[in-house]
Structure 1
Amino acid sequence: MAHLLPINPARRLTLPRFLRLAILAIGLATVLPGCSDDDDMVTAPASPEFLTVRQAALHPEGIQWDEANKRFIVSSRTQGRIGTVKDDSTYTQLADDARLVSTIGLHLDASRNRLLAAVSDAGGNATRTSAATLRKLAALAIFNASTGSLTSYIDLGALRPGVNHFANDIAVDAQGNAYITDSFAPIIYKVDLQGTASVFLEDPQLSGGTGFGLNGLVFHPDGYLIVAKANDGTLFKVPLATPKTFTRVTTTQSLVGADGLLLLNPQTLLLVSGSQTTVFRLTSTDGWASTTASGSFATGPVSPTTITRRSDADAYVLYPYQATSPRFAITKAKF
């Protein structure tokens, strides 16, 4: 008979160390479900750095970010139609009408579910241009931003017949009034919420001579417009209450070729210069009596036109390339 060793009562209740650790791990996983691997993988999708959109000869001029539908909205100088671009670069037509010869600047008035488009004709759309509209057309088209249906079409050029016109960019104030620049005439138009159009400001100082004059503009919450003139890079501050008292903004940076503008905050403005292939970041500490350059983003030779805010941190520049290009691009600006 084999000799039996006495059993230690303390050892009878003791589990091997590796088993105790395994049981403890199982217990923690049960009571702490928030620590699962699946939850660790949930992160907010990153916004893209660069989008290439395969749409031949679209040549978009204006762009807006539509936060509600997570898409960009773009215009077209060569085809007139308005479309949307998702983050996977998918393009979808949103709106079109035979009167849209060339759509230029866009403004998404999200709180009123309106999309506003400046309509012009500089000969870029061979299928829709005509002797009646060539260098004479300036109009504002207003669409339902959700469906793309045209709700209003307002002839601005008729306010000053017999001169050349090119409706370019749009800003909207807190009351919903729209302001539209004319690059061929020294005029800023105003269209109220009822669709009544008027000449808001007309002055020889706003003329571009034989080239492009007024271009981008933005509404400042302190009650004025900041307006850019492309041919010489001048910035103007135009009070809404007394537009004829407009003043020139003193700048330290050449802004020749000024196109689209984006007001990031009351003290910071982004300005796209197509001829300088640069986005300038401008700041002001004196209510836009003057401004200095505080940064820049070089786009390269891609014919940049304008810029839109996607979030507090991100702004995207539109690269139309050439009128016959097989694609266009949208890229995040980095300063």
Structure 2
Amino acid sequence: MAACSPPKLLAPLLLLLLLLLLASPALARSRHVVAFRAPGLRPSSLLWDSAAQHFLVGSRGRPAVTSVSDAGVVEAVVSDPDLPADASLPSLALDPTRRRLLAVVAGPSPACLAAYDLRSPRPHRRLFLTPLPEPADPAAVAIDPAMGAAFVTSASGGVIWRVDLQGEASVFSRSEALSGGLAGIAHVRKGYLLAVQTATGNVIKVDAEDGKARAVLIGGKNGVAGAEAIAIRGDGSAAVVGGSAARIVTSDDGWGEAGVYDKLAVGGRAGGVAVREGRKVYVLIEEEVEGSSGKEEGGWGYRVEEMEWERDREGEWVVGLVLLGLGLAYFLYWRFQMGRLVKDMNKKRL
């Protein structure tokens, strides 16, 4: 008598194959890198638009926003003819609920915040253009997705502005912790903001209701050197980039204190950071094109690069090995059970 028929073999073998397929992405996955050229734009900040499935890039060279596909195709998303030619849109925030794009408008006086309707045809229609309340050097913007309010940092003024859904702007915070100016800012779902200071490296926690702010103690130090941009991952950790480095910073006590979970050199100058699918961190990196002086039009190249964190890889390997172990254990158990079944059947025949 045959040990077992093909149909009986099929179920455990299919299960083992499924476990192998689940384990394979954790055991071997290539890093995602998108290279592109953007003459004259001087790309700065970076966002991931999950609805449109492309990256959004701010510009320090023109009043424009571009999209970058996974294949490196660059297209104009916003090109605002009403803004002065010397204006720029260096920092962006995405309101996914209302499909709005918020953009800091730098260059003209006074500095402004603009909002664009991503549901309108390209180049997207502008919803409002709001002057900020006082002479300032705006740096970055973050959005509260629940309320729709935007928060804009000042690079030198020690202030954060708030712009509501209707485009009304007001001073939100003048806390002493903001002195020296701020760079990047991000909204955290638990009701506060995290901002970074390039000069000090401080990470600043700001209450999203009353504007009270204080520096976060990181690993016994005052901050992370050269911090320029920040984005929040789905697990609540923060990706902080600046200069030639990217870091993951985590906190277990609501950002009273924090620690550097992992750090990577980026091989160029990091100009922006975005989180994709809740966990993947992508960094906008500027580098001089080989054979170019960097001063000519198009002398700089850019890439959007996925960060491959060593500690995350360790976790992925553990998951993969556990899945493989479970699959092998199930298969051996099934073989043992089938062997016993065959012996019992042979005894009955005898």
TM-score in same-fold range (> 0.5):
yes
1:299 corresponds to which of 258, 262, 266: 266
Which letter maps to 1:316? Y
1:154 corresponds to which of 127, 130, 136: 130
| Consecutive unaligned residues in structure 2, runs of 5 or more | 1-5, 7-13, 15-24, 289-293, 310-350
For residue 329 of structure 1, report the CA deviation from its aligned partner: 1.1
In the alignment, structure 1 residue 215 sits paired with structure 2 residue 183? yes
Secondary structure, aligned partner of 2:97: helix
The 5 Å alignment of 1:58-69 reads: 58-69=41-52
Q: Which residue of 2 aligns with 1:55?
A: 38
Which letter maps to 1:214? L
For residue 308 of structure 1, report the CA deviation from its aligned partner: 0.7
Which letter maps to 1:112? R
- TM (normalized to structure 2)? 0.71
For residue 287 of structure 1, report the CA deviation from its aligned partner: 0.7
Counterpart contact for 2:216–2:258, Cα < 8 Å:
yes
For residue 233 of structure 1, report the CA deviation from its aligned partner: 0.8
Secondary structure, aligned partner of 2:259: strand
Q: Which residue of 2 aligns with 1:246?
A: 213
Cα distance per residue 1:231-256 (max 9 Å; x no partner):
1111211112221x322211125412
Counterpart contact for 2:141–2:153, Cα < 8 Å:
yes
In the alignment, structure 1 residue 193 sits paired with structure 2 residue 176? no
In the alignment, structure 1 residue 184 sits paired with structure 2 residue 156? yes
For residue 137 of structure 1, report the CA deviation from its aligned partner: 4.2
For residue 92 of structure 1, report the CA deviation from its aligned partner: 0.6
Counterpart contact for 2:161–2:172, Cα < 8 Å:
yes
- TM (normalized to structure 1)? 0.74
1:287 corresponds to which of 241, 249, 254: 254
- Tell me how far apart the structure 2 counterparts of residues 80 and 328 of structure 1 sit (CA, whole Å): 19
Cα distance per residue 1:134-171 (max 9 Å; x no partner):
xx542111111243221211111xx124xxx2212111
In the alignment, structure 1 residue 116 sits paired with structure 2 residue 102? yes
Look at both structures and tell me which one has the larger radius of gyration over its CA atoms: 1
Which letter maps to 1:193? L
Which letter maps to 2:140? D
1:328 corresponds to which of 289, 295, 302: 302
Which letter maps to 2:287? Y
Aligned sequence identity (%): 27
- Tell me how far apart the structure 2 counterparts of residues 299 and 88 of structure 1 sit (CA, whole Å): 20
Q: Which residue of 2 aligns with 1:77?
A: 60
The structure with the greater share of residues assigned to helix is 2
For residue 317 of structure 1, report the CA deviation from its aligned partner: 0.3
- Tell me how far apart the structure 1 counterparts of residues 235 and 272 of structure 2 sit (CA, whole Å): 19
Which range is displaced more, 322-331 or 92-101? 322-331
Which letter maps to 2:114? A
RMSD: 2.6
Cα distance per residue 1:186-237 (max 9 Å; x no partner):
11000111111000012454232xxxx2011111112111111111111211
For residue 82 of structure 1, report the CA deviation from its aligned partner: 0.8
Counterpart contact for 2:113–2:130, Cα < 8 Å:
yes
Counterpart contact for 1:261–1:271, Cα < 8 Å:
yes
Which letter maps to 1:286? D
2:277 corresponds to which of 286, 295, 311: 311
Counterpart contact for 2:233–2:279, Cα < 8 Å:
no
- Tell me how far apart the structure 2 counterparts of residues 141 and 299 of structure 1 sit (CA, whole Å): 31
For residue 262 of structure 1, report the CA deviation from its aligned partner: 0.9
Aligned residues: 271
Secondary structure, aligned partner of 1:181: strand
In the alignment, structure 1 residue 142 sits paired with structure 2 residue 115? yes
Which letter maps to 1:202? R
- Tell me how far apart the structure 2 counterparts of residues 103 and 166 of structure 1 sit (CA, whole Å): 13
Which letter maps to 2:247? F
